[in-house]
Amino acid sequence: MAEHGRPRDHGALNPPRLQDVADRAGVSTATVSRALSGRGHVSSRARAKVQQAAHELGFVVSYHASSLASGRSRNIGVVLPYVDRWYFSTVLEGAAGALMDAGYDLSLYNFEGDRYRETVLTDFLLRKRLDAAVAVSLHLDPTEAAQLLAAGIPLVGVGGPLEGVPTISIDDLDVGRRATEHLIGLGHRRIAHLGGAEEGRRYFPMSSDRRDGWEQAMAGAGLPVDPAWSLIADYTFTGAYQQAKNLLADPFHRPTAVFASSDEMAAGTILAARDLGLTVPGDLSVIGIDAHPIGEAFGLTTLDQHARQQGTRAVERLLEHLSGGSDEPSNEVLPAHFVVRSSTGPVAAPHGT
């Protein structure tokens, strides 16, 4: 931590020093350094005192000098396949907030699907401008992960396990099973699933695992899985709307419930049902996954996967590693919690009973 600062009054002859901040806060210079750099443990009370003293004195850390002294850039990269989808933007929001609190800059790398994947992994991340990186929903193969680690770039993954890399995720198979079992517990036997396409080897099998959870729950209850009721959409409201409308248009071959792999797709399903004159949950129960804000407007039952917390926790693990703490390459599974609203209910009795 460089003992360099500048006062708010640029004409002052004696700019405040690290020792001045320490004296005013009543702590050691080492505590001031840790509190202002974000490296090392400092109690919240001591951090607040240091920040207040620095503000009163007009002391501003010279991060350029600090970087030269420490050999670090104080810059963390976040790598995403998309930035315009709710899950990824919410994970990014959590990561950005945690980095801001710790005094780190953020460099964002957007693959735009697969368009820039190779360029980012083989060029941008290897330019040694980063202290570490968070890879969201990217299934790096062992060679890709080893290349980044060999370049001195610690990694934390979000979305599933990676060999040799600490990761944060939820159990998508379990989530898919629990969502379906909720519907089965309400008496539903004709349950459709609206999910995404198989991810292949480049991304974690989120869609595949959630679909497998649906199939396992159905099989466990002795219920048939109709292939026509396993639909593929693109995780958007409009894409799901059209798929659901086609599914629900036939009154003689219609499910009584739909499990959608995201809240946006679940909301599209509810709107399609309403446009066909169906009531939710009277004629059709719908459940999603996410805890997207749109769910409240639709009274949507969902499983909260705590997307923002995933980003926050990934950064916390990186900072623990950078501060010298041990971070074993294990997969930390966060819980997903039910949020039960009005979109799910008991299956309607057949007409005439």
The predicted structure's pLDDT at residue 146: 79
- Residues 242 and 233: their CA atoms lie apart, in Å, by 9
Q: Which of 286, 253, 71, 332 shows the shortest CA–CA distance to 180?
A: 286
The predicted structure's pLDDT at residue 196: 92
- For the chain, strand residue ranges (E) read 75-80, 105-110, 132-136, 155-158, 167-169, 191-195, 230-232, 257-260, 285-290, 301-304, 331-333, 337-339
Q: DSSP letters of 324-335?
A: T----S-EEEPP
Residue 301, beta-bridge partner list: 287
The predicted structure's pLDDT at residue 326: 66
Mean pLDDT of 217-223: 98
- Domains along the sequence of the chain with CATH: 18-69 (1.10.260.40), 73-170+307-322 (3.40.50.2300), 172-304 (3.40.50.2300)
How confident is the model over 108-128, as pLDDT tens digits? 988 876 776 677 777 777 776
Structure tokens at 77: 């990269």
How confident is the model over 307-341, as pLDDT tens digits? 999 999 999 999 988 887 766 778 999 999 999 99
Residue 102 clears pLDDT 80, i.e. is over it:
yes
Structure tokens at 241: 């709307």
CA 324 to the chain's CA centroid: 25
* Total-model pTM: 0.78
Q: With cut-offs at 50, 70 and 90, classify the pLDDT of residue 43.
A: confident
**Helix H or strand E segment including 68:** helix 63-70
- Residues 255 and 287: their CA atoms lie apart, in Å, by 13
Token pair 């980095």 is at which residue?
Answer: 99
- Residues 192 and 159: their CA atoms lie apart, in Å, by 25
